Amino acid sequence: AQTVTQSQPEMSVQEAETVTLSCTYDTSESDYYLFWYKQPPSRQMILVIRQEAYKQQNATENRFSVNFQKAAKSFSLKISDSQLGDAAMYFCAYRSGNYGGSQGNLIFGKGTKLSVKP
Amino acid sequence: GAVVSQHPSWVICKSGTSVKIECRSLDFQATTMFWYRQFPKQSLMLMATSNEGSKATYEQGVEKDKFLINHASLTLSTLTVTSAHPEDSSFYICSASYRARGNEQFFGPGTRLTVL
C-alpha cells in the first residue's frame, strides 16, 4: 500500500522569505502523480502544484516549486517570497497512475501547518 | 471551470436523525465522485468512491449502512448520515473528477456536521 509522510506538523516563515515543506512517500508503482494542496481557514482544498512521476523536470507554479527526487521518494514544496495569504495547512498527496484499480484515489499526508509572520 | 458545490455548508442535528449532504459538479460531468471526512487538525480520510449509476465503493472501516451514498447523475452525489450520533460530527468534503482533466479531483467547500 502507498503511504505519504509529512514530518513537519508546523512550520513558520517570515513574510517575503522562502520556506520548504517536506514530503516523502512509499510506493512500488512506477506510474503515479504527486500533489500539494493548500487548505486555508475556509477549509476549501486548493491545488497548488502537481507532478507526474514520469517527468524529470520539477514542476513550478509562480512562487511555488517542487523538488522531486524519485529515487529517494521525496517531494518537497518550496514557497518563495512568502505572503500572508500563504498561511494554511498544506497537504502532500499521492495518486496512482493506474486508474482501473484505484479510480484515482488520493492518499494524503497528515499535513503541515504553515504560519507566515509579518 | 471545474466548480464543485456542497449543500449545506453546515448543519446541526439531533442525535438519531438523518442528514443528507449534496455534492454537485456545476460545470462538468463527473466521472467519479469522492467523499472524505476530516476531523479537526487532521488530514482527509477517504470514505467512499462512487461512479454514476453504480454502487459506491467504501473504504475499510466505513459503515455502508451508516453512510449512504447515492450517485444519481453525472453531476450529483449525496451522502446521507443515518441515525447520526455525536461521534459523527465532523467536516465532510466531496470531490469530483473527469477524464478530460486527467482525473484531477476538484473539491467542494465542505460541510460541517454537528450532532447534538
Q: Which of B38, B103, B105 sits opposite A99 (nearest CB)?
A: B103
Task: Give residue B21's pLDDT.
Answer: 97
Yes or no, beta carbons of B110 and A91 under 8 Å apart = no
- A and B: number of Cβ contacts within 8 A: 43
Q: Predicted confidence band at A40 (pLDDT cuts at 50, 70, 90)? A: very high
Residue type, B42: Q
Q: What is the average pLDDT value for chain A, to the nearest integer?
A: 93
Q: What is the pLDDT of residues B30-71, one digit of tens each?
A: 989 999 999 988 999 999 998 877 889 999 999 999 999 998
Yes or no, beta carbons of A106 and B32 under 8 Å apart = no
Task: Give residue B1's pLDDT.
Answer: 75
Q: Which residues of A touch B46 (CB under 8 A)?
A: 105-106
Interface test with A, best of B9, B41, B43 (most A CBs within 10 A): B43
B100, B110, B92, B103: which is closest to B32 by C-alpha?
B103
- Chain B nearest C-alpha distance from A17 (Å): 26
Yes or no, beta carbons of B109 and A42 under 8 Å apart = yes
DSSP secondary structure letters along B18-40 = -EEEEEEESSS--SEEEEEEE-T
- Chain B nearest C-alpha distance from A96 (Å): 11
Q: Which residues of B touch A95 (CB under 8 A)?
A: 103
How is chain A split among helix, strand and coil, in percent rounded to 5? 5, 50, 40
Hunting for cell 452525489 — which residue is that?
Answer: B77
Yes or no, beta carbons of B109 and A91 under 8 Å apart = no
Yes or no, beta carbons of B110 and A43 under 8 Å apart = yes
Task: Give residue A62's pLDDT.
Answer: 96
